[in-house]
Structure 1
Amino acid sequence: DSGQTWRQFEWLNESLQARDIAFDKSGEAWVLGDNGNFYSMDYRKKINLQTNRGNDDFDNIATNNIRMWFSNNGDGSHDPFTDGNGLYWPGGVNAINSAIFEDGFLWGGVVDGDTVVHGSTYRYGLQPGNILENGQAADPFDDSFYIWRANDNWPIISDMTAQRMEFDWNNWPSQLGAPYNDINQDGEYNPQTDNPVKYGDEMYWMVMNDLDTARTNFLYGSDPVGVEIQVSIYAYQSELLRDVVFKKYKLINKSGKTITDMYFSFWSDPDLGAAGDDFVGCDTILNLGYCYNGTNNDNIYGIPPAAGYLLLQSPVFEAVSSDSAYFNDSWHSGYRNCDLSSFIDFTKSALYPDPIMGMIEGTHQTYNYMTGKNWNNTDILNPHTGKATRFMVAGDPLMGTGWYEGSGWPGGPAPGDRRMMLTAGPVTMNPGDSQEVVYAIIMAQGVNNLHSIAELKSKAKAVGEFYYNGDFIIAIADENTPGPDRYSLAQNYPNPFNPITTISYTLPVTSDVELSIYNILGQRVATLVSEKQQAGLHKIRWDAGKIAGGIYYYKLEAGKSFSETKKLVLIK
């Protein structure tokens, strides 16, 4: 009709996209985007016809070799559309083999004499949104409580994903607690000068709370308290971190009440390929809980991998002045980080059963597990020594020592479906206090089921070194161990920085390399490398002491065709 009934829409950028568009009964237009979601034309609202959970939002990170689902109701590694496994590896966005069915973060403590447990396992006990100054939950249907995404590559991406990235970058919810770099130091987020604090090459951020009575009761029967949880999920594309996803939880006690004897747990139901042939274990030195195959062949993976949950940063408590603890991305004297305090192997048996859901008994059973007791508050006994322990299956299946599943557990269960939970605590949270807990989910594969554990522990050590030092301690490889198979450029660390940072990259073959720094006008301000270099990992230290603070870009050109650019922020 010569355009008489056509409608013109304003997009977030000038790129024209071919997209399916639907209209609701009110006449509002919705565009079909990624993951089956429909977005409003300003990209401010999102709905999915396959779910009906209010404003609960779902997304998945596939920045590297892992593809992992998550939600702003606390659910983790679980596909909301299939109600099935939600962590896939390897292959990233194209991964088809599943390693984890579901996982979630829990906290438990004592409030006014009552034991409470909140978070998420098979059921979610959280709702989207922050807690207001009056102690009430914000409207969970507010559109600002969706899952935000920080990726500074959106200017060079031309699909629907870039629309979202640009919107999130320009409207970063600093007012909700999302971290950002206040470059101009005016106390407000301004996308022209400031930028989100972006851990990794890509990061997702969301805020939740425990003030929905129906949800907290549905989980384990506890009543709401008033704890706000801010979550950052991020990953790196570098060769050394491509099998790792990080999850950072910040908890703020906005209840006006003191929470004593508080524990923080990460729970998981790992289905490592086939679900019925798994074992689990823990390494108390590494603060690592892990799942591995009980046999040397898996119906899904063939050679079975191992999956691990590494406690990187635990809650803190006040200590003597000579002690120090890591929180808020730096070290602080006068505090200490808690040690790993317990590990539980749920064997789906009468001896170590899953806690009851939807009833207050489930709260007490879960909390007993958190403290290192059995579900009924009796001691857990090491089958070798007969003595009480808070750490189940903490032996070494590689060396054949201690209590471990299989031959290391006299009369123990056969390989099967497992759950596990690693816990740190206890601490006290007074009104207004905050705590941080950081985990790394790691995948590894060796030449058999036990060698996969060895590979996993090696990666866990390297990830710990990276998290605290921004660097790796790499074991000397066998001479037949292959080097990197592709060019890659990592995000500089630390970032933001003042005035020294390190830039890492890998070369698969001997290559001509040029690494340069540019300002926002595209002018080159420094050339760090301009030479032929051998294959392998290279780390370049840049001292920007004589450079003005601001946003810069570093560009790596290597070989005949590789070129990649990343952003760095110098704060002075």
Structure 2
Amino acid sequence: AQTYRQSGTDYFAGPLSLQATTDAATCQQWDRHFVITRQEINAFRAAYQADPNNLNLGNYPNVASWPAINTTPGFDRFLAPFVDVNGDGDYTPAAGDYPDVLGDVAIWWVYNDKGNVHTETGAPSIGLEIQALAFAFSTTDQINNMTFYRYRIINRGTLSLTQAYMGVWVDADLGFFSDDYVGCDTARGLGFCYNGDNYDDPPTGYGSNPPAIGTDFFRGPRGDDGQLMKMTNFIYYENDFSVRGNPSNPIHFYNYMRSIWKDGSPMIANGGNAYGGSGPLTNYVYTGYPGGATQASACPFNPPAPGWDEASARNSPFDRRYLQSAGPFTLQPGAVDTIVIGVPWARDANAVYAAGGEGRIGSVCLLYQADDIAQALFDNNFQLVEGPDAPEMEIVELDRELILKWGYKNPLSNNYRENYIQRSPVFAAQGFRDPYYRFEGYLVYQLRDARVSVTDLQDPNKAALIAQCDIKNGVTTIVNREELNVPGQPQPLIVDKVMVSGKDEGLFYSLRVTEDKFAEGTDPRLVNYRRYYFMIVAYAYNGDTANKYVRFILGRNNVRAYEAVPHKVEFEKMGTVLASAYGDGIKISRVQGQGNGGNLLRLTREAEQQLFSPPYRANPVTYEAGAGPFTIKVVDPKLVKPYDYRLVVNVDTTVRDTITSPTGEPVYLVKEWDLYGRPSGSGQPYQLLYTSW
């Protein structure tokens, strides 16, 4: 067992050999924490995907030094988790392998209980190796105030561990260390600490309406019946050496995990301190909602029933420690068990969820909500909403001009045909009527250089927004809210940040670029034979009225920098001559159908003459270039061929749009259409070139 080494040490750095041995050199070699960020992993993966032959591992030191493989003879080869891209069973970053971790920042380390004498408990060593992964997410909601811990526990010894318990020891020292209360929620499997009064004393305290913090077994050990266990015991003890105080020998540590006091007496649900007196035996202490029925009625997040808590027990706030455990279970020699623990934190700074201004109790209420969110995140395998995949971009290089065009070719993309929709487990846990994010639009950036990543897009010195488009659905400006905890301030600072100013004019899929947003001097025009870099991202929106914090999310996947070099085109393909330019329209002839598609129509002179001359009919009806019932324009002048095209619309698949015309009439969208083509003047049958369905 281990507290914070108040009186000794039971665990030591490094793995154990397959014979459960270690030495000082191994301990020294592994006496460190390995830190990795999602940003570094993503940058590494993007660089490898862009050019695997010129990958500079020096730019990704934590990926390169990730301790995935132990080459020491007699030890298990595999340590820190990794993605084996080439499937060769080794960790080879040069071949694209990278750490397999959770969160936006993660810390991995390994330790054992056989490196030396147990000076904390005085107990003999067991032969345990523990591989730990701590991780957290960078978000603008409650998840930002949580940390998570995954422990892979391996019995390297030769004996079966029977009647074993796994315990989490917590000395929260919540602000000022000597004014704390503790409690638990048995239904959630949550142990927690909160302030004993509504003012947390300086110099380390939070001031008025202090927060609460908790720990939860999301995945406990596997019991002998094969079922995963949650919290089976919750006990507190004081920072003293009384019968309810600090443990000092092996049986004290073991008994605390079984809800037994130092003198061997069991916990009693006596309404007081759980020691002695009359009442039933219990494995859990202080299970009621703090503050009684009045406070419970102010909490909307399914609190436990009021009853036994530290205030009702008339305890004085003190330097409390608590221990929550799960057991008993058996760990056979060579067996592996995995424990996952979450640590949520919450603060009701304005006493919204408490009666009588008792924000410290409201913080416990918010902690229940935070724990439910954390549990939902665990149930979703810690996968946050990814957002819509970015489309593939192609760039047409012309004389002092670039044409950016984008779309989705991969049917496995989560935004193929712009159908992205993803349920947020966090919103679902909060009871939102609409817990789904849906694709909303695109943002196109010019980057200063190839080193700029998606995390730099808000830095005007590194990225410039050159285009934005979104679905025409009434959604315009999207704002995310953050609450920043400022040291010394009694309440968090609320910041509303405009994430996108949507034009609400519909989507487009190409862009003509003629100016350099990072040009120096007075001439902003693109320069031939100079490298330019661009990035496109897709974003999604959730407009549920209960969502005050994260309405806008950027897609995380398929985001990369694209390079282009403008140049003269006449040197291509032994002399290229362009007969069109970006944006040029073409003449359209209507063979069948009616309507204008909401566009301004302009007939050719020949069509007008036919309509005003006997028999006053034109078939087909031909429109001037760019003035037909639907819009067609040249996007890539290099690909325009002398073809005749035929567009066939299936009118039986029209669907009513969510918007109306300016006159209030309904607008209908065509769901299915086909494009055919043949070389001009060839007389050949038309061939299918594209279908929308």
For residue 435 of structure 1, the aligned residue among 337, 350, 354 is 337
Superposed counterparts of 1:224-303, under 5 Å: 224-240=125-141, 241-299=143-201, 300-303=205-208
Superposed counterparts of 1:137-536, under 5 Å: 137-138=22-23, 139-154=25-40, 166-176=60-70, 177-192=79-94, 193-214=96-117, 216=118, 218-240=119-141, 241-299=143-201, 300-303=205-208, 304-317=210-223, 319=225, 335-348=226-239, 350-356=242-248, 362-384=249-271, 386-400=279-293, 401-406=306-311, 408-409=312-313, 412-446=314-348, 447=351, 448-469=359-380, 470=383, 471-472=425-426, 473-475=428-430, 508-509=497-498, 511-512=500-501, 528-529=538-539, 536=549
Instruction: Tell me the CA shift for residue 371 of structure 1.
Output: 1.1
After superposition, give the CA deviation of every residue in 1:217-261 in whole Å (9 maximum; x if it has no partner). Answer: x11111112100111111110123111111111110001111111
Instruction: Tell me the CA shift for residue 345 of structure 1.
Output: 1.3
After superposition, give the CA deviation of every residue in 1:339-396 in whole Å (9 maximum; x if it has no partner). Answer: 311111113463411111xxxxx21011111112222221211114711101011111
Give the structure 1 partner of residue 397 of structure 2. Answer: none
In 1, Cα distance between equivalents of 2:103 and 2:323 = 26
Instruction: Tell me the CA shift for residue 476 of structure 1.
Output: 5.9
Structure number with greater Rg is 2
* 1:148/1:206 contact within 8 Å kept: yes
* 1:151/1:165 contact within 8 Å kept: no
* 1:213/1:223 contact within 8 Å kept: no
Question: Relative to 1, partners in 2 of residues 1:152 and 1:397: Cα closer, same or farther, differing over 3 Å?
Answer: closer
In 1, Cα distance between equivalents of 2:40 and 2:125 = 39
2:120 partner SS: helix
* 1:119/1:126 contact within 8 Å kept: no
Give the structure 2 partner of residue 537 of structure 1. Answer: 550
Question: Relative to 1, partners in 2 of residues 1:363 and 1:141: Cα closer, same or farther, differing over 3 Å?
Answer: closer
- Count residues in correspondence: 373
1:175 partner SS: coil
Structure 1 residue identity aligned to 2:62: D
Instruction: Tell me the CA shift for residue 511 of structure 1.
Output: 2.0
In 2, Cα distance between equivalents of 1:315 and 1:523 = 50
Instruction: Tell me the CA shift for residue 399 of structure 1.
Output: 3.6
Question: Relative to 1, partners in 2 of residues 1:511 and 1:431: Cα closer, same or farther, differing over 3 Å?
Answer: same
| 2:21 pairs with 1:136 | yes
In 2, Cα distance between equivalents of 1:351 and 1:318 = 32
1:427 partner SS: strand
Structure 1 residue identity aligned to 2:88: D
Instruction: Tell me the CA shift for residue 143 of structure 1.
Output: 2.9
In 1, Cα distance between equivalents of 2:368 and 2:59 = 35
1:460 partner SS: helix
Instruction: Tell me the CA shift for residue 510 of structure 1.
Output: 6.4
Question: Relative to 1, partners in 2 of residues 1:168 and 1:278: Cα closer, same or farther, differing over 3 Å?
Answer: same
In 1, Cα distance between equivalents of 2:539 and 2:362 = 38
In 1, Cα distance between equivalents of 2:501 and 2:223 = 50
1:378 partner SS: coil
Runs of 5+ consecutive residues of structure 2 not aligned to the other structure? 45-55, 71-78, 272-277, 294-305, 352-358, 384-424, 433-453, 456-478, 482-496, 510-531, 562-693
Structure 2 residue identity aligned to 1:425: G
Structure 1 residue identity aligned to 2:310: E
In 2, Cα distance between equivalents of 1:540 and 1:415 = 43
Question: Relative to 1, partners in 2 of residues 1:527 and 1:541: Cα closer, same or farther, differing over 3 Å?
Answer: closer
2:159 partner SS: coil
Give the structure 2 partner of residue 64 of structure 1. Answer: none
In 2, Cα distance between equivalents of 1:456 and 1:555 = 38
Runs of 5+ consecutive residues of structure 1 not aligned to the other structure? 1-105, 107-117, 320-334, 357-361, 478-488, 491-504, 517-521, 543-550, 557-572
1:238 partner SS: coil
Structure 1 residue identity aligned to 2:131: Q
When you count strand as a share of all residues, which structure comes out higher?
1
Identity %: 24
In 1, Cα distance between equivalents of 2:246 and 2:541 = 59
Instruction: Tell me the CA shift for residue 527 of structure 1.
Output: 6.3
In 2, Cα distance between equivalents of 1:260 and 1:166 = 44
> Hey, which bits of structure 1, 4+ residues long, moved more than 6 A?
162-165, 522-527, 530-535, 539-542
After superposition, give the CA deviation of every residue in 1:518-569 in whole Å (9 maximum; x if it has no partner). Answer: xxxx999996448998975358899xxxxxxxx964379xxxxxxxxxxxxx
In 1, Cα distance between equivalents of 2:212 and 2:15 = 36
In 1, Cα distance between equivalents of 2:345 and 2:11 = 27
Structure 1 residue identity aligned to 2:247: P
* 1:368/1:376 contact within 8 Å kept: no
In 2, Cα distance between equivalents of 1:355 and 1:265 = 14
Instruction: Tell me the CA shift for residue 145 of structure 1.
Output: 4.3
Structure 2 residue identity aligned to 1:134: Q
In 1, Cα distance between equivalents of 2:480 and 2:64 = 32
Structure 1 residue identity aligned to 2:163: D
Give the structure 1 partner of residue 438 of structure 2. Answer: none
Question: Relative to 1, partners in 2 of residues 1:167 and 1:423: Cα closer, same or farther, differing over 3 Å?
Answer: same
After superposition, give the CA deviation of every residue in 1:113-165 in whole Å (9 maximum; x if it has no partner). Answer: xxxxx6755343111111112321153344344211122434989xxxx9998
Structure 1 residue identity aligned to 2:206: Y
In 1, Cα distance between equivalents of 2:370 and 2:134 = 19
2:362 partner SS: helix
In 1, Cα distance between equivalents of 2:4 and 2:216 = 18
* 1:277/1:293 contact within 8 Å kept: yes
Instruction: Tell me the CA shift for residue 432 of structure 1.
Output: 0.5
In 2, Cα distance between equivalents of 1:530 and 1:260 = 51
In 1, Cα distance between equivalents of 2:81 and 2:61 = 16
In 1, Cα distance between equivalents of 2:230 and 2:284 = 12
Structure 2 residue identity aligned to 1:265: G
Question: Relative to 1, partners in 2 of residues 1:460 and 1:419: Cα closer, same or farther, differing over 3 Å?
Answer: same
* 2:27/2:115 contact within 8 Å kept: no
Q: CA RMSD in A?
A: 3.6
Identify the structure with bigger relative contact order (alpha carbons < 8 Å, sequence gap 6+): 1
Superposed counterparts of 1:57-96, under 5 Å: none
In 2, Cα distance between equivalents of 1:370 and 1:164 = 47
Structure 2 residue identity aligned to 1:131: L
